[in-house]
Structure 1
Amino acid sequence: MRDNLRDRRALMSSLVYPLLGPALLALIFMVVGKSVSERSEKPLELPVAGVEHAPNLVTFLEQNGAEVVPAPEDPEAAVKSGDAEVVLVIPAGFGEDFQAGRPAAVRLVVDDSRQSAGVSIGRAEALLRTYSAQIGALRLMARGVSPQVMQAVAVERVNLATPQSQAAAVLSMTPYFIVLALFIGGMYLAIDSTAGERERGSLEPLLINPASRRQVVFGKYAATLVFTVVGLAVTLIGLMVLMNLFPLENYLGIRFHLSGTALVAIFFIALTIALLAASLQILIATFTRSFKEAQTYLSLLPLVPALPGIFLALLPVKTHLWMMLIPTFGQQLLINHLMRGESVSALHVAVASGRTAAAGLALITLAAKLYERERVIFGR
């Protein structure tokens, strides 16, 4: 372990790589937040075809923050190619239907597959809905009818979301980065102490020592676990700095505060994943014949347990007890709850931690038994 403390690659995997997750989150927040705020603040550039058919509508659009510009000759081709985000087409029969009191149709040409155009499309639709509601109210008043008769049901929206839960929806990728850090922090040490030593021929002299082979394996496991836990701590510190000091409100319009209690709870919940990660890495590296082969396998390993984190970010699920039996998945669910400022069940924590710790113990025990075979020790 002392040798790895002087090894630049081991220190990089434990101290530097775990910071990539928080750094990537900060970069995403800055880019996305800046893009959305710029689109929301600048005037809506709205190409309109058939301006002469609805001058009053065009005037309303201009008075409410839209910059009306001439539409391209082929609106559909322009939107499809990305030259225009949205185009309003006013047909020739608009004025006749409008004067007759009939619904006057307009066409809003959009491409919903372009997420970058979502803000412009939403603003254009909101302006048209507002104009339609105002004209409808004026027509009713002209006939001596109160516009309120059109509102049969008054809906009062009660939003129970807290600033913490709203921010957690944006930060839903956090469990993914935590698990990723756990499987990266001790990876180099796990490879170097197994496949690396066997490749260098230093494993055989090590086993001549009075310590049993089981003790040697558990020593390698303990050293790997230390680096893994350090990687976890570095990631959580990076996330705490990001969420408490980084101006999320300036970029995303949300406030978020990660308390010290929640941070400690996340650390201990994720600690059982560290037990599993270190044992799984040593077991896999034991089967490999070279340092490069072990590096190839263990580089792909973090993607498997981290996949549930991506799943949670895209499709949040309701937590059930049976989910706690799935190693790493239960912990990611619990971390997600803590990020939202919600309490977690002690039973869920116990089941998830016990299941994952048991899996880690079983794997490292299997690795220790493998080292009793001469083929594993001398195989190259």
Structure 2
Amino acid sequence: MRTAFFVVLHKELKEAMRDRRALVLLLLFVVMYPAILWSVLHNLIDKAGKTERESVELVVIGGAQVPTLVTRLTQRNVTVNQRGDMSDSAITDLLKERTQVAVVKVSDQFSDNYKEMRPAKIELWYDSAAEQQNKLRRIEAILRGYNESIAGARLLAHGVSPATLAPIQIEQFDTATSSSRSAGFAGALLGMFFATAFFFCMNTAMDSTAGERERRSLELLMAQPVHPFDLLAGKWMAAALVSVLGLTLELLVAHFILKWMPLEELGMSWRLSLPSMLMVIAVSIPLCLFAAAFEIALAMNAKSFKEAQTMMSFAILLPMLPVLVVPMLDLNTATWMYAVPVLANKTLLLEVAKGQAIGLVPFVLTAGVPLLGTAVAICFATWRIKSERYVLGV
């Protein structure tokens, strides 16, 4: 490397560290996504930590006709509030208060239909918009159990085994490990972490190209005895180093959050070791190099910093689209996914976290494709910066 390259690199890094916008953006994404990850996991663990013994408030209308059901509800830690007859509008207003999980209304003809062995109606009123779905499922499970117990008792009374209603017994065995389950869940959350490689270096890339062009300081640099490639490479490497730093810190923070969180309460675990995470980060460095080169090549076509911001806000959506679209399609992991930047890094992290042997090809494609894109972007930017029309903005 030529001395001019290091001079330009030192200059750009110093300016990047002085730029408050770049530092704020770096700090924002280093903290924001891990904070979102922690918040989501903490909320899920908090809900999972609530035991089945949590009290449930339930209104029962006509409970005198179903004393066995009331007893069963009470035994399952359901607080039963028995009331007299209520109109449909009164039940709706009660549920709007969100103090009761549901209302069980026993039909007036329940006792007669029950004795005559005709279908006896029990109405379950609930508000599906209320955030009490787990409690509602407990109520539904108790009602189903009550229904099945009556059916079994009637069959026994007629000398028929209740097993007649279940001629086939299905047993399910889940061979997935806790680490593979957590990999799928965490992989979906960590996928967007790699897209931030484009955000970390965005401000530095725009300021060192479109910003300097707008301030006319680029003309002074070009007037120096510096080869255009050295000038461009210094700017590119400065932006890339900022991106590498941000992505490394972000992934490490997320890794330690997953290690620290009690994922066992969700039936998951994060067993990815620190060396494995560092390996994933090392394979992601080419993505940072590509992000910086891509944004510099794009920002060079803008005549002002604001124009570069407008162009970049649309351009950086491109690497994010595969990460958003592919999970919606519910596709199995395929080799071609490792050839798509950002999606490749997410897929690689997902497979490594599962503890599966994935071979050498995914690593080569994940690192090689961004390096190829980097070479194309740098060649274009070098050719562009040699043009006097570009430098002078004519």
| TM-score normalised by structure 1 residue count | 0.87
- The reply to whether residue 265 of structure 1 matches residue 279 of structure 2 is yes
| Residue 354 of structure 1: how far off its partner (Å) | 2.5
For 1:179, the equivalent position in structure 2 comes to 194
Letter in 1 for 2:138: R
Letter in 2 for 1:285: A
For 1:56, the equivalent position in structure 2 comes to 68
| Residue 304 of structure 1: how far off its partner (Å) | 3.5
Give distance in 2, aligned partners of 1:193 and 1:19.
Answer: 25
Q: Deviations over 1:74-101 (max 9, x none)?
A: 3356557866543333222332332233
Alignment CA distance shift 1:70-1:365 (3 Å)? farther
Give distance in 1, aligned partners of 2:267 and 2:95.
Answer: 29
| Residue 136 of structure 1: how far off its partner (Å) | 2.2
Contact 2:323–2:342 (Cα < 8 Å) also in 1: no
Q: Deviations over 1:91-113 (max 9, x none)?
A: 2233233223334332333454x
SS at match of 2:174: coil
Contact 1:176–1:307 (Cα < 8 Å) also in 2: no
Gaps of 5+ in 1: none
Give the counterpart of 2:377 among 360, 363, 371: 363
Q: How is 1:1-380 mapped onto 2 (pairs within 5 angstroms)?
A: 1-38=13-50, 41-69=53-81, 73=87, 74=89, 75-76=91-92, 79=95, 84-112=100-128, 114=129, 116-249=131-264, 252=266, 254-299=268-313, 301-311=315-325, 316-379=330-393
CA RMSD, aligned part only?
A: 2.8
SS at match of 2:80: strand
Letter in 2 for 1:67: T
Greater CA drift, 142-151 or 152-161: 142-151
| Residue 246 of structure 1: how far off its partner (Å) | 3.2
Q: Deviations over 1:105-150 (max 9, x none)?
A: 32333454x3723212211111112212222222233333333333
Contact 1:39–1:119 (Cα < 8 Å) also in 2: no
Give distance in 2, aligned partners of 1:146 and 1:235.
Answer: 61
SS at match of 1:269: helix
Identical aligned residues as a percent: 29
Give distance in 2, aligned partners of 1:284 and 1:115.
Answer: 48
Give distance in 2, aligned partners of 1:291 and 1:228.
Answer: 19
Give distance in 2, aligned partners of 1:194 and 1:49.
Answer: 73
SS at match of 2:131: helix
SS at match of 1:357: helix
Give distance in 1, aligned partners of 2:349 and 2:337.
Answer: 13
SS at match of 1:96: helix
Gaps of 5+ in 2: 1-12
Contact 2:53–2:76 (Cα < 8 Å) also in 1: no
Letter in 1 for 2:346: Q
Contact 1:180–1:303 (Cα < 8 Å) also in 2: no
SS at match of 2:59: strand
Contact 2:206–2:299 (Cα < 8 Å) also in 1: yes
| Residue 35 of structure 1: how far off its partner (Å) | 4.2
Contact 1:184–1:231 (Cα < 8 Å) also in 2: no
SS at match of 2:108: coil
For 2:9, the equivalent position in structure 1 comes to none
Contact 2:184–2:350 (Cα < 8 Å) also in 1: no
SS at match of 1:344: coil
Alignment CA distance shift 1:101-1:364 (3 Å)? farther
Give distance in 2, aligned partners of 1:95 and 1:197.
Answer: 86
Letter in 2 for 1:47: V
Give distance in 1, aligned partners of 2:245 and 2:230.
Answer: 23
Give distance in 1, aligned partners of 2:118 and 2:308.
Answer: 72
Contact 1:85–1:121 (Cα < 8 Å) also in 2: yes
Contact 2:195–2:342 (Cα < 8 Å) also in 1: no
SS at match of 2:132: helix
Q: Deviations over 1:172-200 (max 9, x none)?
A: 43333322321122122112211121122
Give distance in 1, aligned partners of 2:222 and 2:340.
Answer: 36
Letter in 1 for 2:224: N
Contact 2:191–2:343 (Cα < 8 Å) also in 1: no
Give distance in 1, aligned partners of 2:389 and 2:48.
Answer: 59
| Residue 226 of structure 1: how far off its partner (Å) | 0.9
Alignment CA distance shift 1:2-1:92 (3 Å)? same
Greater CA drift, 119-128 or 347-356: 347-356
Alignment CA distance shift 1:284-1:108 (3 Å)? farther
Greater CA drift, 8-17 or 360-369: 8-17
